[in-house]
């Protein structure tokens, strides 16, 4: 090699080598930065302000199950898609063996948070505990089922009568599958370190808070967050303040009255299958008379309530089922056969509601004015939900205002209607027992999903409305608060999901 060639080669390669080293060093620094950012993100914990404290120590056989579901610590055999159709979850596939029997294959390689494996026998134990619970989960109202193992990795579910909604029922958070250690002899279920989800429940602090950590042995995708710190904040003003000040990352149900005080970029309006309804006691008191119930119905000014209390962030009710069920309104016909309204003539009634949803006491004030203008003498009783529920279900009020999810359990309205209006319904605030209503509900329940079932549901709604036991006022739009740091929190109309394995924070310092 000549000196000239050696010179040119060296002058060409040395800068190239230097550039390669610089690029390599830069890539290493970038990788290190990304790794540090990823590690920081993986250590983030999301702070959640929940609407209501637990009423039963987070027992998953009660309504507290929906908190466990929203934190993704307890899971079910089936989950529902956006259309309410069943999809695999802890069960990978299923088939209807005959009219009354269904077979579900159980997912392999799933462990509970205590390290024990998910097996068919564990599924049998969990579902059997639900069927024998007192009170039973709402999703099982009117349903008798037995569960038995079919080998190590499948179960058979048999119902007393043909039931086309068994897969939907098994999606209810109240039928979550928990580890054997969770089930006590007293019928209670302790969810601590007993679920199968991406987050493990580590601590229950009564009605104050709960703490969850990431479960690294989760069968699905590893959670992006290190954990969830959930505080119960029944006061709506305090929840909104937590969002404004950044002391909470995700806030359930920001009250309409507080929205104007919050950065618009932090609030997200979600149409809900939730109806604000006036329930009238059909068993005793003035509203035992159908004509008096008609008087209460005619006294109601829905538009004024939506405009005044909800500042237009709600929809006036045409029936029990709202715009979240897009098919409902097009199937309705006018309600016929209602009695004429009587003159209340100063009849004294007790109107109850609860403080946990900030709008309800305001609705009660406005409704009191409307009823008194019609001739009723109204006395209000307003408490926290935990302190009023038992009296409400026992029929201690003449009228009660309730914000009620209409597809909370199965993704199908029949379960809600049966629970609230059937003779044997477990949530029958109106104390209604009407053969025509029971017949209509039975007819709808027997049909498979599809157009015929949807029409039967609307027919059952008409039978209920004809009694005036329930006067639907409006359909709510829940307002969920999220810090701008939050990504992929779920805005779920059915209120089953909130924080999932995909939820993450952007890594900014706290």
Q: Do 41 and 504 contact (CB within 8 A), yes or no?
A: yes
Does 76 have pLDDT greater than 90? yes
Does 24 have pLDDT greater than 70? no
* The pLDDT value given to residue 507: 64
CA atoms in the 13 A half-sphere facing the CB of 442 = 10
- DSSP three-state, residue 472: strand
Q: With the CA atoms of 321, 498, 229 and 123 taken in that order, what torsion angle do they form, in degrees rounded to the nearest 10?
A: 90
Does 12 have pLDDT greater than 60? no
Mean pLDDT of 80-91: 87
Place of tokens 């929205």: 259
Does 149 have pLDDT greater than 80? yes
- Summarize pLDDT for 333-358 with one digit per residue, the tens: 999 889 999 999 999 999 999 998 88
Domain at 65-249+483-505, CATH from 3.40.50.1820, 3.40.640.10, 3.10.129.10, 3.40.190.10: 3.40.190.10
- Supply 5's token pair: 């060639």
Where would I find the beta strands (DSSP E) of 294-442?
314-316, 348-354, 377-383, 399-405
Percent of the chain with pLDDT over 90: 74
Q: How far is CA 426 from the centre of its chain?
A: 18
* The pLDDT value given to residue 85: 80
* The pLDDT value given to residue 215: 98
* The pLDDT value given to residue 244: 96
For the whole prediction, is pTM greater than 0.75?
no
* The pLDDT value given to residue 185: 82
Does 248 have pLDDT greater than 70? yes
* The pLDDT value given to residue 5: 35
Does 9 have pLDDT greater than 60? no
Q: 6-20, 152-166, 214-228, 254-268: lowest mean pLDDT where?
A: 6-20
| Integer Cα distance of 367 and 373 in angstroms | 10
Percent of the chain with pLDDT over 70: 91
Q: Do 272 and 310 contact (CB within 8 A), yes or no?
A: no
DSSP letter string over 88-131?
ESSEEEEEEEETTEEEEEEPSS-B-TTSPBP-HHHHHHHHHHHH
Mean pLDDT of 436-440: 98
CB atoms inside a 10 Å sphere around CB 137: 23
Give me the helices (H) in 43-86, please: 65-70
Domain boundaries, the chain: 65-249+483-505, 271-477
Where would I find the beta strands (DSSP E) of 193-347?
199-205, 209-214, 227-232, 250-251, 267-280, 314-316
* The pLDDT value given to residue 303: 97
Q: How far is CA 220 from the centre of its chain?
A: 22
Instruction: Give the pairing type, strands 45-50 and 227-232.
Output: parallel
If one compares 412 and 210, the residue with the highest pLDDT of the two is 210
Q: Which fold has domain 271-477?
A: Dipeptide-binding Protein; domain 3 (3.10.105)
Sign of CA dihedral 413, 416, 421, 425: positive
When pLDDT is cut at 50, 70 and 90, the band that residue 142 belongs to is confident
Does 37 have pLDDT greater than 50? no
Q: Average pLDDT of the chain? A: 90
- Supply 102's token pair: 């269904």
When pLDDT is cut at 50, 70 and 90, the band that residue 272 belongs to is confident
If one compares 367 and 313, the residue with the highest pLDDT of the two is 367
* The pLDDT value given to residue 508: 42
Does 2 have pLDDT greater than 70? no
């Amino acid at each position: 090699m000549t000196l000239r060639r050696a010179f040119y080669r060296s002058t060409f390669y040395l800068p190239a080598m230097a550039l390669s080293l610089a690029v390599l060093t830069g890539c290493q620094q970038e990788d290190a930065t990304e790794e540090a950012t990823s590690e920081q993100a993986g250590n983030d914990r999301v702070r959640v302000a929940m609407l209501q404290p637990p009423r039963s120590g987070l027992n998953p056989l009660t309504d507290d199950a929906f908190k466990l579901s929203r934190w993704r610590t307890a899971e079910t055999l089936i989950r529902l898609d956006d259309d309410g159709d069943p999809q695999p979850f802890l069960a990978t596939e299923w088939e209807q063996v005959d009219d009354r029997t269904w077979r579900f294959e159980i997912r392999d390689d799933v462990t509970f948070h205590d390290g024990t494996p998910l097996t068919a026998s564990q599924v049998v134990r969990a579902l059997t505990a639900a069927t024998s619970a007192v009170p039973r989960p709402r999703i099982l109202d009117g349903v008798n089922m037995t569960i038995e193992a079919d080998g190590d990795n499948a179960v058979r579910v048999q119902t007393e009568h043909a039931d086309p909604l068994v897969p939907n029922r098994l999606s209810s958070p109240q039928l979550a599958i928990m580890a054997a250690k969770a089930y006590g002899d007293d019928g209670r279920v302790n969810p601590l370190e007993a679920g199968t989800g991406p987050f493990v429940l580590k601590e229950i602090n009564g009605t104050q808070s709960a703490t969850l950590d990431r479960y690294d042995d989760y069968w699905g995708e590893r959670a992006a967050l290190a954990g969830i710190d959930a505080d119960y904040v029944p006061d709506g003003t305090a929840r909104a303040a937590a969002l404004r000040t950044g002391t909470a990352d995700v806030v359930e149900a920001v009250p309409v009255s507080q929205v104007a005080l919050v950065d618009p970029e932090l609030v997200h309006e979600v149409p809900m299958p939730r109806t604000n309804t006036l329930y009238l006691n059909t068993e005793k008191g003035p509203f035992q008379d159908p004509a008096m119930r008609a008087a209460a119905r005619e006294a109601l000014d829905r538009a004024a309530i939506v405009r005044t209390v909800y500042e237009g962030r709600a929809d006036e009710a045409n029936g029990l089922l709202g715009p979240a069920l897009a098919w409902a309104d097009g199937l309705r016909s006018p309600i016929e056969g209602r009695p004429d309204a009587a003159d209340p003539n100063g009849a004294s009634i007790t109107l109850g509601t609860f403080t946990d949803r900030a709008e309800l006491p305001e609705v009660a004030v406005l409704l009191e004015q409307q009823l008194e203008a019609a001739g009723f003498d109204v006395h209000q009783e307003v408490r926290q939900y935990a302190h009023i529920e038992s009296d409400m279900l026992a029929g201690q009020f003449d009228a009660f205002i309730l914000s009620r999810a209409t597809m909370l359990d199965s993704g199908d309205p029949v379960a809600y209607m049966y629970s609230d209006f059937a003779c044997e319904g477990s949530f029958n605030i109106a104390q209604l027992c009407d053969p025509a209503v029971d017949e209509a509900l039975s007819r709808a329940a027997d049909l498979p999903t599809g157009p015929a079932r949807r029409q039967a549901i609307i027919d059952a709604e008409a039978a209920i409305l004809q009694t005036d036991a329930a006067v639907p006022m409006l359909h709510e739009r829940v307002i969920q608060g999220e810090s701008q740091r939050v990504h992929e929190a779920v805005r779920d109309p059915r209120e089953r999901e909130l924080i999932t394995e995909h939820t993450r924070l952007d890594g900014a310092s706290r």
